[in-house]
Amino acid sequence: MEQIFFIIIFLYSVIAHEVAHGKMAEYLGDPTARLAGRLTLNPLAHIDPIGSVLLPLLLFSAGSPILFGWAKPVPYNPYNLGNYRYANALVAGAGVGTNLAIAIIFGIFIRLLVLPEVLASFFAQIVLLNLVLGVFNLVPIPPLDGSKILFDFLGDTQLTRWLERYGVILLVIFIVFGFSYLTPLIEFFYAVIVGY
């Protein structure tokens, strides 16, 4: 049962992240995600069988300290975003912002409501998972959102071209060897939001 709850939390957290990208892109002038039917919380429109279900379930079942997975990316056309400064950064940041907002909202519920222990634990998992997704996605390695934010500020440089070229390799290396460096930051935000 716990594994089922975990998959549901993970799936909808990732879907909310992706839909936020599409919503922000549409706000900035690009209707691509809406026209593709991707501005929906219906999981059937977003599920990647391996990234959304199989990999997270295997990691969770194995007791892995590293949580990784993905949904099908929501499409957007950067050429439709108009003349907004840092438009790509805004689209990328919307996903991270949504995960952090979800964590804060459920943290407020935990702090303000008298909840049964099971429900409080469930809400705490929502907070933690969304913090992991939000903080992890800020890492400036392609294809994570942090790289899109960084590239929007740096422009086309040798560094950005190098990161784009080796992004997948760098990301795997980071997940294996560098993810633990995010743990203190995630734990700090968790303690601030939940209060314990």
Catalytically annotated residue among 2, 18, 164, 187: 18
| Residue 129 burial class via C-beta count within 10 angstroms: exposed 0-12, middle 13-18, buried 19 and up | buried
Annotated catalytic residue 18: yes
Q: Which pair of structure tokens corresponds to residue 14?
A: 């990732």
Instruction: Give the dihedral of Cα atoms 106, 185, 69, 175; nearest 10 deg.
Output: -170
Report the amino acid identity of residue 62: A
DSSP state of 144: S
Q: Which residues are catalytic?
A: 18
